[in-house]
Amino acid sequence: MKIKLHWKLTLIFCSAVTIGLVIGYFYLVGNLKGYVEHNLENTLRYQVLSGKDLIESRISGQNILTDADTLAEKIGKQQEVRVTIIKRDGTVIGDTELNAEEIAQVENHLDRPEIQEAITKGLGISKRYSYTIKKYLLYMAVPFGMDNSAGFIRYAVPISYIEMLEGKLDKTITGALLLVFLLSLTFTFVISFVVSRPLAEMARVARAMAKGDFSRKPFIYSRDEIGDLAMALSYMSDEIKGKIERIKQEGVKLDAVLSSMFEGIMVVDEKGHILLMNPSLRKLFFVDSSPENKSPVEAIRNPQIQDAVDKILKDKRNLFSEEVTVGQPEEKVLKINAVPIIRNDVLEGAVLVFHDITELRKLERVRQDFVANVSHELRTPISSIKGYSETLLEGALEDKDNVREFISIIYQDSNRLANLIDDLLDLSKIESGKMKMAFAPLDLKPILKRCFEVLEKSIKDKNLSLSINIPDSIPKVIADDKRLAQVFLNLLDNAVKYTGDGGSIKVEVSESGSLVQIDITDTGMGIPEKDISRIFERFYRVDKARSRELGGTGLGLSIVKHIVLSHGGQVWVKSEPGLGSTFSFTIPHA
Ligand SMILES: Nc1ncnc2c1ncn2[C@@H]1O[C@H](COP(=O)(O)OP(=O)(O)O)[C@@H](O)[C@H]1O
Ligand SMILES: [Mg+2]
């Protein structure tokens, strides 16, 4: 049970006051009673002695007191006590309370303790029960007369009178002490309230601080320890508030850095449980639930990442770098750089940085493939040229029938080499961004006309029918004249090449939004579904041998794609094997 401080203080003070008062009460009462009794005795002694004087003044020459009873009555009335006058032999001769007959019957008083004491010491005192008047009494007796030998005068006061006095005393003291008690109770209550109130207030402020509310400040009450405490609390509140603000800012900064980082970051504790995982890494592994406190394999379901974490925590190597290929959720090549966090020679965890190098590796592979492809493409015409020229040199020159054929083959192959090299150069220029483009508003009609002039012969040879549909409303396009012509030439050349004799080619231009769309449709052999996605790749051809025979390099569509993209357009194809293909591309208009 919680007892409030001011109740505790009140209780302690009250207990102390109570103990003090009880001790004081007994001490006072004991002392005062003694004093009262003493005082009473003194008064009684004084009265007895003055009674003695009075009696002695009445005594006759023979040391005989006459009329003792009347005297006893008189003195008793005067002094409000019971007076008994006793002869030397112990016979009672006068008493305030008794008449003459009664006195005659009173037994001899010589053996009474106060009389005995009066005989030996000159003054006798005794407290006892009086059977005569049936009360506890205090007796005091002195001898009187000549040589104190005439008799004794005895005074008696009821003890109940003393008790009454003592009772009064008791009541007064108890009342006074009760008053003191009540006053001190009020005081202690007030004092403890005054002491405990600022403490309670400070406790409230501290509790609010713990909950993050720093707006409450303790009121500074006084220039004492409590005031100091309030001031310290106030100072502490400001300090903590500032520190929390700083920590928050640091957190925001760190969060911003981690969130904006392209690389994935994971921090684990010494047991390998995840402390932090930035958004990039979550995205990489499609982690949507909170990964904190889980092990990596639980959070991202990838044993290779778990292995990497285990390794760095076990080896505690300074820097650990590994490339892993993960299959889930999609194939990715990741380079993991990991460092252990070691403070005072104790391993506290590790930081892992994940670089997604999938694209890099893909590009590397493309480049390697490209080199292999280029070498291969160059070797074929070169070995052909080499073979035929050797044959010619070895004597075939004399063979008039073959010379012409051989030389025309050599000529064709060198043309093919030249085409290949031109295409390669174009491609590399476009890719490296070195190809200068002069964008200008262009009319499509003259460009198309020029292209058809180039292809006129082949079209005629193959007996292809041609239709061109360019509505007059088509606006000018923003393009580089030469490059746009290159796009048309490549696409039309393909259409002519891959369409059988008697087929038809159709060019349609339409406007769609901010773009102009050009569709080139042929009735040729078409492209199988599985190849469609790849024909824009370099050197990709559906039928290599056939393409080569037709003088193709396999780079045409790749060049088309690059040019169209650099104009801000798109290129795509729809095809039905055996029925024909439609190559479409878009170009922004003016
Ligand atoms: N109009 C078309 N009809 C059928 N196949 C086509 C057509 N255009 C292109 N192709 C296919 O796409 C491949 C790549 O074309 P391209 O890059 O121009 O190379 P090339 O014409 O030198 O073979 C061609 O080898 C061919 O298989
Ligand atoms: Mg081509």
Q: With beta carbons less than 8 A apart as the criterion, state whether 493 and 556 touch.
A: yes
- The answer on 225 and 111 residing in a single domain is no
Mark which of 317, 350, 383 sits at the end of a domain: 350
Q: Is 135 found in the same domain as 57?
A: yes
Cα(85)–Cα(68) distance, rounded to whole angstroms?
A: 7
- Residue 505 beta carbon below 6 angstroms from any ligand 1 atom: no
Question: What is the 557 CA–ligand 2 centroid distance (Å)?
Answer: 6
The rounded distance, in Å, linking the Cα atoms of 172 and 208 is 53
Based on the fold, state whether residues 482 and 532 are members of the same structural domain.
Answer: yes
Q: Is residue 289 part of a domain?
A: yes
Whether residue 507 has its Cβ less than 6 Å from ligand 1: no
CA of 410 to the centre of ligand 2 (A): 21
Does a structural domain hold residue 398? yes
Ligand 1 within 6 A of 420 CB? no
Regarding the beta carbon of 559 and ligand 1, being less than 6 Å apart is answered no
Q: Is 573 in the pocket of ligand 1 (CB under 6 A)?
A: no
Indicate whether residue 498 lines ligand 1 (CB < 6 A). yes
Whether the CB of 554 sits within 6 Å of ligand 1: yes
State the distance from the centre of ligand 2 to the C-alpha of 515, rounded, in angstroms: 25
The domain spanning residue 387 has which CATH number?
1.10.287.130
- The pLDDT of residue 68 is 81
This prediction's pTM: 0.51
Q: Is residue 65 part of a domain?
A: yes
By alpha-carbon position, which residue is closest to atom 24 of ligand 1?
A: 541
For residue 115, the Cα-to-chain-centroid distance in whole angstroms is 98
Q: Are residues 323 and 395 in the same domain?
A: no
Q: How far is CA 391 from CA 340, 385, 398, 404, in A?
A: 69, 10, 11, 13
User: Closest ligand to 579 CA?
Assistant: 1
Q: Are residues 12 and 90 in the same domain?
A: yes
Q: Which residues pair with 286 in a beta bridge?
A: none
pLDDT of residue 1: 61
Into how many domains does the chain fold? 5
81, part of any domain:
yes
Note whether 55 and 65 are within 8 A (CB). yes
CATH number, position 143: 3.30.450.20
Give the pLDDT confidence of 28-73 residue by residue, as tens digits: 888 887 887 788 888 888 988 888 888 888 877 777 777 888 888 8
Separation of CA 555 and ligand 1 centre (Å): 9
Tell whether 198 is covered by a domain.
no
Residues 21, 129 within the same domain: yes
247 lies in the same domain as 333: no
CA distance 495 to 489: 10
Predicted confidence at residue 33, as pLDDT, reads 79
Mutate to test the pocket of ligand 1, among 541, 546, 555, 561 (most ligand atoms within 8 A of CB): 541
Instruction: For residues 159 and 67, state if they share a domain.
Output: yes
Range of the domain at 304: 263-350
Quote the pLDDT of residue 287. 86
Say what the pLDDT of residue 142 is.
93
Alpha carbon of 389 to ligand 2 centroid (Å):
28
> Is residue 183 assigned to a domain?
no
Question: Does 202 map to a domain?
Answer: no
Q: Closest Cα to residue 559, out of 417, 375, 431?
A: 431
Handedness of CA 432, 435, 439, 442 (dihedral sign): negative
- Which of 423, 535, 581 has most ligand 1 atoms within 8 Å of its beta carbon, as the pocket-test mutant? 535
Q: Which atom of ligand 1 is found nearest the CA of 557?
A: 17
Q: Residue 262: how many CB atoms within 10 A of its CB?
A: 8
pLDDT, position 517: 96
Find out whether the beta carbon of 28 lies less than 6 Å from any atom of ligand 1: no
* Tens of pLDDT, residue by residue, the chain (590 residues): 667 777 887 788 888 888 988 898 888 888 887 887 788 888 888 988 888 888 888 877 777 777 888 888 888 888 888 899 998 898 988 888 888 888 888 889 899 999 999 999 989 999 888 787 777 888 999 998 888 888 999 998 887 777 777 788 788 888 888 898 889 888 888 887 887 888 888 888 889 988 988 888 887 767 788 888 888 988 999 999 999 999 999 999 998 999 999 999 999 999 999 999 999 999 888 888 888 899 988 888 888 889 888 888 888 777 778 888 887 667 889 999 999 998 898 999 999 999 999 999 988 988 888 888 889 888 988 999 999 999 988 887 787 888 888 999 999 999 989 988 998 998 888 888 888 889 999 999 999 999 999 999 999 999 999 999 999 999 999 999 999 999 999 999 999 999 999 999 999 999 989 999 999 999 999 999 999 999 999 888 998 888 877 878 889 999 999 999 999 999 999 999 999 999 999 999 98
Statement to judge: residues 256 and 268 lie in one domain: no
Q: Does the beta carbon of 541 sit less than 6 angstroms from any atom of ligand 1?
A: yes
> Which of 315, 350, 385 finishes a domain?
350
Pocket test for ligand 1, best of 424, 494, 520 (most atoms within 8 A of CB): 494
Q: Is the dihedral of CA 477, 483, 485, 489 positive or negative?
A: negative
Pocket test for ligand 1, best of 427, 486, 498 (most atoms within 8 A of CB): 498
Q: In the prediction, which pLDDT does 221 show? A: 67
Domain stops at, among 260, 286, 320: 260
- Ligand 1 in contact with 340 (CB < 6 A)? no
SS (H, E, C) 250-316: HHHHHHHHHHHCCCEEEEEECCCCEEEECHHHHHHHCCCCCCCCCCHHHHHCCHHHHHHHHHHHHHC
3-state SS of 495-523 is HHHCCCCCCEEEEEEEEECCEEEEEEEEC
Residue among 51, 110, 70 at smallest CA distance from 86: 110
| Alpha-carbon span 224 to 228, nearest angstrom | 6
Whether 487 maps to a domain, the answer reads yes
- Same structural domain, 451 and 572: yes
377 plus 342 within the same structural domain:
no
Are residues 79 and 157 both part of a single domain? yes
Q: Compute the distance from residue 554 Cα to the ligand 1 centre, in Å.
A: 7
From the CA of 493, how far away is ligand 1's center (Å)?
9
Question: Could you tell me the distance, in angstroms and rounded to a whole number, from the CA of residue 123 to the centre of ligand 1?
Answer: 157
Q: Whose CA is nearest to atom 1 of ligand 1?
A: 495
Which pLDDT value is given to residue 451? 93
- Assess whether the C-beta atom of 580 lies below 6 angstroms from ligand 1: no
Centre of ligand 2 to C-alpha 451, Å, is 14
